[in-house]
Structure 1
Amino acid sequence: MSDIEHCYNEPLVSVIVPVHNTERFISQCIESILNQDYKKTQLIIVDDCSNDKSCEICRKYAEDDARVINVRLHSKCGVSKARNVGISKAKGEYICFVDSDDFLKTGYIRKYVNLINQYKVAVVYGYHMYYQNGIFISRPKRVPKGYHSVEELSSNLIDDGTLTGILFGSACGAIYKSSFLKVNNISFDERLTKNEDGVFNLDLLSKCKKIYVTHYDGYCYRKWKSDTNVNILVPDDGLDMATEAIMQKHSNIMNFACQMKRRNVSIIFWNAINIGACSNSNIYNVRKLRSYMEKSTIDQDYKTLKIKQCSVYKRILIYLLYKKYHFLFCFVIKYIYPFVKRYR
């Protein structure tokens, strides 16, 4: 069979890329998709009202390659709306999501198509590598590779107690069966500004019985946004809105009460890190952290964590919070953590 005939017989894969002001990276993202060794793709770019050169760059790719569809939203609506628009335009048997500042290894799409075809599941989840300053960093694998029933994973889906959040917290680094999403009316919750990927996956997992997990990490997640010089001392309500959505839709999940306590500690943990990292003086941050922690429920919920399964740096940080060593916590976050986290 010739390469052309082989390509004709392969399933179409729709790759959805929401874009907002990523002119520095969007070309590498698009080219990593178009240059895959799997050619039968439909690239759907949804520009969420960028005000840099992203729109112009995307338009040029659409003019030059018939596989590319370029859609521009009339107002900034957020990543969930952009992805939902992409889903509505997807013609492929399978759907992948890629963020516009990330990129794929060359064999990524073929690898995922082969797996989802082989195991006949609604979704195949994988992992991504961090890409920072020209260096690739592998992430810990939270789920063993292989075929899994959703039931066996359900006691850890919302939070597995390792301060890492929703078990399948990203829609990227995965491939979805398009018909399954559409028949079950699964879409991204456009009200959410945080954890929208994780809630999307929880919605999907509530509808299916089996999934496949691969440890292949061909998705390259670019870490480029600086975490320094931030001034966010008051945690936003984005995670609270996601928590509310989870409680409304997924309260029947196994071990729900315990998982929600773990999630609460995870949110406290990451909010505390954001406070400690602020560019204000360390003393000022300590006062804000102490005030925040006095209102938290970490004392009651701490014991639900799986401390031994947490990474060393997380064990240290959560211990400092639990023991109320707020000054030391802020010092570590501001002056030591920025170096340690690069290699976590």
Structure 2
Amino acid sequence: MNPKISVIVPLFKTERFVEKCVRSVMEQSFTDIEILCIDDCSPDNSALIVRRLATEDRRIKLIHHMENRGLGGARNTGILHAKAPYIASVDSDDYIAPTMLEALYAGTQDGHFDVVVSGYERVDETGKVLSKHMQSVRSLDPIPDDQDPYKIANPAFWNKLWRTSLYIENEIFFPDHIYYQDAATTPRIFAYAKNVNVIGGVYYKYLVRSDSVTNKTSDKHKLDKYRELDFVKDFFIQRGLYGKYHDAFSRRVFETYKNHFATIVDGKRALDEGSLRYLRYLLLMRESYLHLDDAIRGMTIEELTRAFEDGGADIRRLALEKKTVAIDGVPPRIVRPWSRTPDVSVLTLHSGENEFAQSKQSLENQNYKRWTHKVFSGLGNVESHQALYNEIMDNSGRYHIFLKLDADMVFADETVLEEIVKRFNSDPELDHFVVACDDWMTGKQIIGVHAFSNRVSWNISAEGLFVDPSPKRPGKRVIVERTDRAYFYHSPDPSPFQAFHFGAHRALKLCQRNRPYEEKRADAMNAQWDVFFNVWNRFMETGDERLGLALVACHLVVSGDLGEGVHDYKDPQLLDAFKQHEHSTAAEMMSLLEPFWKTRSSRQTYFAQAVGPDGLRKMEEDRVLRKKGKAKRSDGSRKTEGGMAKKARFSESDERIRSRVKFRIYRAALSPFIDTTLKLKLQEKPTVFFLDAKHPALRFGRWLHRNDLPLDLQGR
């Protein structure tokens, strides 16, 4: 059986102390342990002493490094070799009280706590106690979300019991060959630990030696202060935690230099010129790190080059321009250099969709595996979206990317999540990525899937209709309305009730009946009308009763028989209406719907009924504003009204042509005989394609689609 605690003892130049250290572990009252002694190429007899002790105690394992890796590297070797669920560590010049491991293991409370902390005392080589620390008793269960990771306990690795998986599963290890490696590692672990138990007592004996690294003033000590901070800061940035811990980290920068400064001053009776110069360097380093590092991290290679070449470059002004310095109320800007493997939170809104199991399976099949999944079920439309947005903002420090899905969204293949991650990794300014999905109801690509960086935020409101507001973001949004490949399939196999709800929900967005005039959205009216027009065309082509049910639900909303609450799946009025129509045949539904959808004039009348007089007025107002906005070309000249109208007619014609089955048949038949350029033109601009047709086969296509062209173009 595996031991319950793995005790790590790094060995390097401590032959005077190592036997006392290892024997203090061997003589513990808690015996279910292994003792991992890591020989880091020690040039003295430390390893020989441990080998002799191993003949007395089979729990001792001596592991040799082939090259020196420093104290941090030796600890990493111990962590990777540990077989126990918990690890402890004793530096080979220190020693521990006989009951320390027993007290620490009891403090886990049968494995509940991730970290258990004991008190310690500083002693000299004679055993005289110089000071005692961490004797109070307390616990954080769970660790509060806003807890400063530097304030939980001292950063030392050695007076604690750690859950081994905190290091292994989160890929957190000590840096090699630097001083202050504990301070570079412990806060990273506390960022992931769920809870901590401080048991007090004085168990660990920390030996204070005259050659302690904290009393040194070498150049390596100066640089390693930078490196210590950078290890933590890089980690927080890469894991999406920097926004959460920005203030705590800034305090740490200030305090760590202040404490190092004080230690050097207190440790010297008289400061020589070299020490004074060193202290000046420390102060310069602290101030530059606090105020300029974020700005410099955000510089491009061109900006860095200019800064080095131009001796007069004002880096502090650059910091202000990049908004990385908190001066005069300007908040720090979180620069977003990510690791290549960011953490993704997939958030699914579930209301009983038929494709939910298929959606979950398609997520499980993704090649990219660094994700977690949370489902929001049993909530109303407004409540579920509010919960989702709060989830994103509450966990902005834990995840890099958030992917919002409805339960009827199915990944098209196993590479989709990987490609979305690549989008964010390749563009540090990207905060909101929107991609179209292939929609079964319309037979078209529609906007449906949103991915956010951890920098976005929302002002949560009780908006009941348009529940997907654009977030506030420091960077940019990219919308992909047309894709060459499928990313997601939307509602590929809806239930009849799901289709009915689809029609009712979108009809509410079409009508916007109870919204104040100034809040009506003309773009949404147009978009939803296009959706229903495409559903109508598919219903005529396929006769699928689910499409008919969507159109019936739309009609019930337009006619006023269904109210504003039907955007929720559990709305009683929606359920009753569905029961009345769920057994209708396609022919019966066609008979009901044809008077409104069959002809162009009937559709125009129906649209006017749906949006109402205020809606028509709002759309005309919006059209005029858009026309004014687009009238000026980039060179200041104006487009003609005729050109604008012609473009609008072409766009409308393109949409009608592409919706026809005969167009898809014609395109497939013609495909082997035309080049890539013509294929693209046929798909993207079919009106122009047919009007420009020269070959008889192409002119035949124009004749097929004559009725789809604008009236003034049909005779050309």
Aligned counterpart in structure 2 of residue 252 of structure 1, from 219, 242, 247: 242
Could you say which residue in structure 2 is the equivalent of 1:99? 91
Q: Deviations over 1:140-180 (max 9, x none)?
A: 4397522343226723x23x5xxxxx943111111112234
Could you say which residue in structure 2 is the equivalent of 1:182? 168
Are 2:198 and 1:213 aligned? yes
Equivalent pair of 1:231/1:278 in contact (CA under 8 Å): no
Could you say which residue in structure 2 is the equivalent of 1:109? 101
Cα distance, 1:12 vs. partner? 2.3
Aligned counterpart in structure 1 of residue 256 of structure 2, from 266, 272, 291: 266
Q: Aligned runs of 1:23-62 on 2, under 5 Å?
A: 23-62=15-54
Distance in 2, Cα, partners of 1:240 & 1:36: 38
The number of equivalent residue pairs is: 283
Equivalent pair of 2:261/2:279 in contact (CA under 8 Å): no
Cα distance, 1:247 vs. partner? 1.6
Distance in 1, Cα, partners of 2:60 & 2:129: 28
Are 2:134 and 1:141 aligned? yes
Change (3 A) 1:74 1:153: same
Distance in 2, Cα, partners of 1:183 & 1:125: 21
Change (3 A) 1:31 1:289: closer
Equivalent pair of 1:268/1:296 in contact (CA under 8 Å): no
Residue type at the aligned position of 2:232: I
Change (3 A) 1:238 1:143: farther
Does the residue aligned with 1:37 lie in a helix, a strand or coil?
A: coil
Distance in 2, Cα, partners of 1:276 & 1:113: 37
Q: Deviations over 1:67-111 (max 9, x none)?
A: 110012122110111111111211122210110001010101111
Distance in 2, Cα, partners of 1:83 & 1:211: 21
Q: Aligned runs of 1:328-343 on 2, under 5 Å?
A: none
Aligned counterpart in structure 2 of residue 292 of structure 1, from 277, 281, 289: 281
Change (3 A) 1:292 1:36: same
Distance in 1, Cα, partners of 2:3 & 2:36: 16
Could you say which residue in structure 1 is the equivalent of 2:333? none
Could you say which residue in structure 1 is the equivalent of 2:155? 169
Equivalent pair of 2:37/2:50 in contact (CA under 8 Å): yes
Cα distance, 1:138 vs. partner? 3.9
Could you say which residue in structure 2 is the equivalent of 1:82? 74
Larger radius of gyration: 2
Could you say which residue in structure 2 is the equivalent of 1:308? none
Does the residue aligned with 1:154 lie in a helix, a strand or coil?
A: coil
Residue type at the aligned position of 1:263: V
Q: Deviations over 1:235-254 (max 9, x none)?
A: 52111011112222225364
Distance in 1, Cα, partners of 2:283 & 2:205: 39
Change (3 A) 1:282 1:203: closer
Distance in 1, Cα, partners of 2:76 & 2:133: 30
Of residues 100-109 and 172-181 in structure 1, the stretch that sits farther from structure 2 once superposed is 172-181
Equivalent pair of 1:227/1:277 in contact (CA under 8 Å): no
Change (3 A) 1:246 1:231: closer
Does the residue aligned with 1:256 lie in a helix, a strand or coil?
A: helix
Distance in 1, Cα, partners of 2:216 & 2:140: 44
Q: Tell me the TM-score normalised to structure 1 length.
A: 0.71
Distance in 1, Cα, partners of 2:252 & 2:216: 27
Distance in 2, Cα, partners of 1:213 & 1:119: 15
Change (3 A) 1:265 1:202: closer
Residue type at the aligned position of 2:16: R
Does the residue aligned with 2:157 lie in a helix, a strand or coil?
A: coil
Are 2:225 and 1:239 aligned? yes
Distance in 2, Cα, partners of 1:183 & 1:40: 24
Distance in 1, Cα, partners of 2:46 & 2:90: 15
Residue type at the aligned position of 2:69: C
Q: Aligned runs of 1:277-288 on 2, under 5 Å?
A: 277=267, 282=271, 284-285=273-274, 287-288=276-277
Does the residue aligned with 1:197 lie in a helix, a strand or coil?
A: coil
Distance in 2, Cα, partners of 1:290 & 1:198: 20
Does the residue aligned with 1:232 lie in a helix, a strand or coil?
A: coil
Q: Deviations over 1:269-314 (max 9, x none)?
A: 41464377569x645257526743773666998xxxxxxxxxxxxx
Distance in 1, Cα, partners of 2:230 & 2:183: 13
Distance in 2, Cα, partners of 1:141 & 1:243: 24
Cα distance, 1:65 vs. partner? 1.7
Q: Deviations over 1:7-60 (max 9, x none)?
A: x8x952110100101011000001000011111110000011111111110111
Q: Tell me the TM-score normalised to structure 2 length.
A: 0.36
Does the residue aligned with 1:225 lie in a helix, a strand or coil?
A: coil
Change (3 A) 1:238 1:167: farther
Equivalent pair of 2:115/2:161 in contact (CA under 8 Å): yes
Distance in 2, Cα, partners of 1:51 & 1:154: 43
Does the residue aligned with 2:144 lie in a helix, a strand or coil?
A: helix
Equivalent pair of 2:180/2:225 in contact (CA under 8 Å): yes
Cα distance, 1:125 vs. partner? 1.9
Of residues 175-184 and 67-76 in structure 1, the stretch that sits farther from structure 2 once superposed is 175-184
Distance in 2, Cα, partners of 1:34 & 1:77: 26
Equivalent pair of 2:40/2:68 in contact (CA under 8 Å): yes
Cα distance, 1:126 vs. partner? 2.2
Cα distance, 1:187 vs. partner? 2.1
Cα distance, 1:62 vs. partner? 1.9
